[in-house]
Homo-oligomer: A and B are copies of this chain.
């Protein structure tokens, strides 16, 4: 069903139908005829052809590393809020944490009818930079700092440092166990490198050096955090703090602690003479302020980032360049809040 056929059926020109659809000048009489025909036929205009002409889709594409994440959903909620208030819609593409897929979807969006792209960044490779440098549609990057596009990111280093200081004070108060850290790949400059470096700096400011034997790497998944924690617990028996680069990882660590404690105390029972009161109380910390984790665990020390805010700002930034052709490059760094109140549980 095309605009032409509608025009013929209604006895008008295709231009008249187009105007009817887009609110141009049309006599009430013809308006009626057209309306009737459209209803009868159940005609829907092809957005594609329209966009091919107008170059304007009122749509933005958002590339995200994964779907099942509270932080990411907070960002997209922010984006969605300003987009819909300004008459835009949002399409998401998820890459399963695979940088190649990121490029793939960026290219998809570049050649599809979207007016702009928001990339929730993880690892910025050379390919990414190349893409950003000559993208033919405006792009803003959230969560990572880059010179090649407008970007909004969080103070991961500062947050890491604050967490490091907190860990140090907790450690000193509890009296002398070891601090462990479970990080993510340093290729991720924000969640990987910056948080870890900040954490080390925070410790150092309290005179503590993070021992490499107490450091593990994890994927951005609970089960991976679980494994990292188990490896830590099996090798070391003097850990009193496990700081994790994300709350998702922290959840896995909590699980591992439960299981490990159970395991140890059972061995203690069977091997008479070993006192099972020997089990050390381990504090787990995270980043991200995950609400589900807080609800179930009662809350662990973590960092609250303004994810929704970064979503809002990124969408505003993007629309500024789409609609007003704003050309001045922007790098925006957002702060954080240390969360250390344990819900009364």
Chain A residues packing against B (C-beta within 8 Å): 1, 42, 44-49, 51-52, 59, 61, 66-70, 72-73, 76-77, 80, 89-94, 96, 104-105, 107-108, 110-113, 134, 136, 222-223, 226, 248, 251-252, 254-255, 258-259, 262-263, 290-298, 343-345
Contact = CB atoms under 8 A, between A and B. Distances in A.
A73 B70 CA distance: 12
A200 to B, nearest CB: 27
Nearest to A57: B112
Nearest to A252: B295
Nearest to A47: B111
A297 B94 CA distance: 29
Contacts of A292: 222, 248, 251, 290, 292-293
Copies, count = 2
Contacts of A110: 44
Contacts of A52: 46, 48-49, 52
Nearest to A262: B344
A295 B67 contact: no
Contacts of A93: 89-92
Contacts of A134: 42
B47 A298 contact: no
B73 A259 contact: no
B46 A111 contact: yes
B345 A258 contact: yes
Contacts of A107: 44
Given A80-B94, A292-B293, A345-B259, A68 B66 contact: no
Nearest to A1: B136
- Which of A46, A108, A112 neighbours the largest number of chain B CB atoms within 10 Å of its CB? A112
B89 A105 contact: yes
A49 B55 CA distance: 12
